[in-house]
Amino acid sequence: MTFDRHLPLDERILRIDHIQARRYSKLVGVAAEIATEGILRHLRACDRMDVNPDTSAVREIIDDAINGRRVFAETTEQTQAA
């Protein structure tokens, strides 16, 4: 299941949870970059596993971005951690 891949990221987040979409839209600078990268990774992983995106995961990604933490799971291409 592709979760509306053709939509802009803002719209995709809005379809997951309107509260998180509002929080995401208020981010600027580095926090916005961290959240964007984390959410995109989450959405790609959900697409690969054919599951719906998780609201709590998006909330945690945004929380971490606000606090300046860049936390990602390991991938086969590369490993990134905080």
Long-range contacts of residues 54-63, Cβ cutoff 8 Å, at least 24 apart: 55/16, 55/17, 55/20, 58/13, 58/16, 58/17, 58/20, 58/24, 59/17, 59/20, 59/23, 61/35, 62/20, 62/23, 62/24, 62/27, 62/35
pLDDT at residue 21, as a whole number:
96
Q: What is the mean pLDDT of residues 38-43?
A: 93
**In contact, 57 and 47? CB cutoff 8 Å:** no
Q: Against a cut of 0.85, is the pTM above it?
A: no
Domain range list for the chain: 9-66
pLDDT at residue 82, as a whole number:
44
Mean pLDDT over each residue of the chain, to the nearest integer:
85
pLDDT tens digits for range 52-82 = 999 999 999 999 999 988 876 655 555 444 4
